[in-house]
């Protein structure tokens, strides 16, 4: 086996997963080359900086770049291990698009040699790793690919999904258990030896197909469970009951663990991946499909509740607190908070203020609506109406005396002491 400093690794895609992964592998001593289509990303990384906000990532990247174990480029070079971490979006009809994965495989084919290992980490529909194998077989007929003939293969191909939580990526990259699915058991063992170099969690081997479905299952599980909480929040509204209290009380049961309602589900994973399962087997996935619709429907419900609150107080400014898809991060992808803000800006642009400590300027969709980005202190001074869309710590810590007189729509349940609750699928708290 190659020593850490002899091992050459190429990571394709330097996004939210690829860059932290490349940096963590580089820290273990391997020589890592990160490939990205964006010149700007490549230049940023090579200068030891980062283009995404993630706890401790800047220090790690500047360290490994300075030590020379991580560099970036737009063109590929030969290596021992290739890690694919590119996006897998879906199209209009929710059909998964694995075009970037196949493009990455094509790029790898140009420099692939006997003895190399290819690992796909991108969330992918079941069967994608086999498609990668088939493509490589076509592009490199001189190399024997795994799982096609009885004989030993020249290269190993495996699927190992990333499972890290934004905001905790560097910790979870090391500590989480990994599921490693080989096209053949031999491929799985080869990939396992690679992950053992930098992962502290348990590494469990299986088939590529099982590992692909495991990843989709994890995110569908979370989506279905958040949908349950969101549905309950609407029922509690009808009943005039505080949903946050009900969930707290129900969760005292030893076998009940309900998640938190909110303004909908965002991010690039949980709002997307369940569709890969629905698309693969539409007949047998009514629950997963319905959960997606319940979570998207919750966003519409929040928009209607917020609009009603704003209309009830004509002329006064209101503050939307948060745009990120969840607390304490700067990621606005598929953010329900941004969707709510956008819908409200279309109707009440001039009256709208936005507080988002993680945005230096308003995102383009809000830029020309008349809405203004302000800080939390100004919002407390100027806005009698507050729509809480994200549970950033900064908002959570605003004490009651600073918001006692506000009309509040709290979609995240961060201010349980806010006086005079008027429910709306979440405690809508009107003062005065």
Kindly list the residues in this chain that would bind ligand SAJ in the complex (CB under 6 A).
Answer: 123, 162-166, 218-219, 222, 226, 259-260, 262, 265-267, 269-270, 325-326
Q: Which of 190, 215, 298, 326 is catalytic?
A: 215
Does 138 qualify as catalytic in the annotation? no
In the bound complex, what is the minimum distance in angstroms from residue 219's beta carbon to ligand SAJ? 5
Residues making up the chain, counted from first to last: 432
Minimum CB distance to ligand SAJ, residue 88 (Å): 10
Assign 81 to helix, strand or coil: strand
- By C-beta, is 162 or 231 nearer to ligand SAJ? 162
What minimum distance in Å lies between the beta carbon of 289 and ligand SAJ?
17
Q: Where are the beta strands (DSSP E) in 166-246?
A: 178-182, 203-207
**Which CB atom, from 270 or from 394, has the smaller least distance to ligand SAJ?**
270
Count of C-beta atoms within a 10 Å radius of residue 395: 23
* Residue 142 per-residue DSSP state: T
Taking the CA atoms of the chain, what radius of gyration do you get in angstroms? 24
Catalytic residue among 269, 326, 339, 406: 269
Give the nearest distance from C-beta 325 to ligand SAJ in angstroms: 4
Taking each helix axis as running N to C, give the angle between helix 208-239 and helix 128-139, from 0 to 180 degrees, rounded to the nearest 10: 140
DSSP 228-264: HHHHHHHHHHHHT--HHHHHHHHTTSTT-------S-
Cβ neighbors of 314 (< 8 A, separation 6 or more) are none
As a whole number of angstroms, the distance between CA 305 and CA 425 comes to 9
Q: How far is the CB of 85 from ligand SAJ (least distance, A)?
A: 10
Query: Which CB atom, from 164 or from 386, has the smaller least distance to ligand SAJ?
Result: 164
Phi, psi of 82 (to 5 degrees): -115, 125
> Closer to ligand SAJ at the Cβ: 169 or 385?
169
Query: Which CB atom, from 65 or from 327, has the smaller least distance to ligand SAJ?
Result: 327
Distances (CA, A) of 25 to 34, 36, 106: 11, 17, 23
> Cβ of residue 62: shortest distance to ligand SAJ, in angstroms?
25
Which residue pairs from 420-424 have beta carbons closer than 8 angstroms and sit at least 24 positions apart in sequence?
A: 421/242, 423/236, 423/237, 423/240, 423/241, 423/242, 423/243, 424/237, 424/301, 424/305, 424/308
Annotation says 113 is catalytic: no
**Closer CB to ligand SAJ, residue 138 or residue 168?**
168
Active-site positions read: 215, 269
């Amino acid at each position: 086996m190659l020593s850490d400093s002899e091992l050459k690794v190429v990571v394709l895609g330097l996004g939210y997963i690829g860059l932290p992964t490349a940096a963590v592998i580089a820290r273990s001593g391997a020589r890592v080359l990160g490939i990205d289509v964006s010149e700007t990303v490549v230049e940023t990384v090579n200068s030891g900086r980062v283009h995404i906000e993630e706890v401790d990532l800047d220090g790690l990247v500047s360290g490994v770049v300075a030590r020379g174990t991580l560099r970036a480029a737009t063109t590929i070079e030969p290596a021992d291990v290739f890690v694919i971490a590119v996006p897998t979006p879906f199209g209009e009809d929710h059909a998964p698009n694995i075009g970037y994965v196949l493009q990455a495989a094509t790029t790898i084919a140009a420099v692939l040699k006997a003895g190399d290992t290819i690992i796909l980490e991108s969330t992918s529909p079941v069967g994608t790793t086999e498609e990668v194998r088939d493509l490589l077989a076509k592009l490199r007929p001189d190399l024997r690919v795994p799982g096609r003939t009885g004989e030993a293969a020249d290269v190993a191909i495996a699927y190992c999904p990333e499972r890290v939580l934004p905001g905790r990526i560097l910790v979870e990259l090391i500590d989480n258990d990994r599921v490693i699915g080989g096209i053949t058991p031999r491929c799985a063992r080869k990939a396992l030896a690679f992950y053992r170099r930098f992962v502290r969690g348990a590494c469990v081997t299986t088939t590529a197909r099982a590992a692909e479905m495991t990843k989709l299952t994890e995110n569908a599980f979370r989506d279905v469970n958040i949908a349950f909480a969101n549905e309950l929040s609407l029922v509690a509204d009808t009943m005039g009951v505080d949903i946050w209290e009900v969930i707290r009380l129900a969760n005292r049961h030893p076998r009940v663990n309900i998640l938190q309602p909110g303004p909908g589900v965002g991010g690039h994973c949980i709002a997307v991946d369940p569709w890969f399962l629905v698309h693969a087997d539409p007949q047998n996935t009514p629950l997963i499909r319905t959960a997606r619709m319940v979570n998207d429907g919750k966003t519409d419900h929040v928009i209607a509740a917020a609009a009603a609150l704003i209309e009830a107080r004509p002329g006064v400014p209101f503050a939307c607190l948060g745009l990120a898809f969840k607390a304490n991060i700067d990621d606005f992808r598929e953010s329900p908070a941004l969707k709510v803000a956008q819908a409200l800006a279309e109707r009440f642009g001039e009256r709208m203020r936005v507080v988002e400590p993680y945005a230096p300027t308003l995102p383009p969709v809000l830029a020309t609506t008349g809405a203004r980005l302000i800080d939390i202190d100004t919002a407390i001074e100027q806005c009698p109406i507050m729509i809480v869309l994200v549970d950033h710590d900064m908002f959570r810590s605003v004490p009651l005396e600073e918001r006692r007189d506000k009309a509040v729509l709290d979609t995240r349940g961060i201010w349980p002491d806010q006086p005079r609750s008027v429910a709306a699928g979440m405690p809508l708290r009107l003062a005065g």
